[in-house]
Structure 1
Amino acid sequence: MQSEITVALITLIGSILGSVCSVAYGIKFLGYRMEQLEKKVDSHNKIVEQIFVLEEKIKTANHRIRDLEKGS
């Protein structure tokens, strides 16, 4: 009976340690994935800003072309 209790306690301790380690690893992995996602979002936002600037430049260029064509 004593050996069964010892084995059960060792198994319980192993299960608890395994659960704690897997949760800690999961949290660390989640943090890493969040960092990667933030980098992608930053990159996306920069591209959106650049597109906005380019669209404004194109509008200005189109207005200037129309003005030049009207003057001819």
Structure 2
Amino acid sequence: MESIISALVAGGLTLIGTVLTVSSGQKKTEQKLQTAQAVTDCKIDELTREVRLHNNFAQRVPVIEEQVKVINHRIADLEGGK
């Protein structure tokens, strides 16, 4: 009878230790995932900002090119009038 009680106590303590270890590991893993997700979100926000800046620049280049053409034409007209 004593051996059964000893086995049950040992098994119970082993079970408690295992549950505590798994629970602790799970909490650490969740914290690491949250940190990684926060870093990923920050990087995505920064990339989105850079893409918006690039898109704005890409939209403005044709306008600038047209303005340069107009300026060059005006200069040519002024030079031809002298």
Asked if these proteins are the same fold (TM beyond 0.5), I'd say yes
- Structure 1 alignment gaps of length 5 or more: none
Q: CA deviation at 1:14?
A: 1.0
The equivalences for 1:47-62 within 5 A come to 47-62=57-72
Choose which of 16, 21, 35 in structure 1 pairs with 2:26: 16
The equivalent of 2:35 in structure 1 is 25
Give the aligned residue type for 1:43.
L
Aligned with 1:40: secondary structure? helix
Larger Rg: 2
State the distance in 1 between where 2:58 and 2:65 align: 11
The equivalent of 1:63 in structure 2 is 73
State the distance in 1 between where 2:21 and 2:64 align: 64
**Please, what TM-score do these two structures have when normalized by structure 1?**
0.71
> Which consecutive segments of 4 or more residues in structure 1 shift more than 6 A?
none
Q: CA deviation at 1:58?
A: 0.6
CA RMSD of aligned residues (A): 2.1
Q: Report how many residues are paired.
A: 72
| Matched-pair identity in % | 24
- Structure 2 alignment gaps of length 5 or more: 1-9
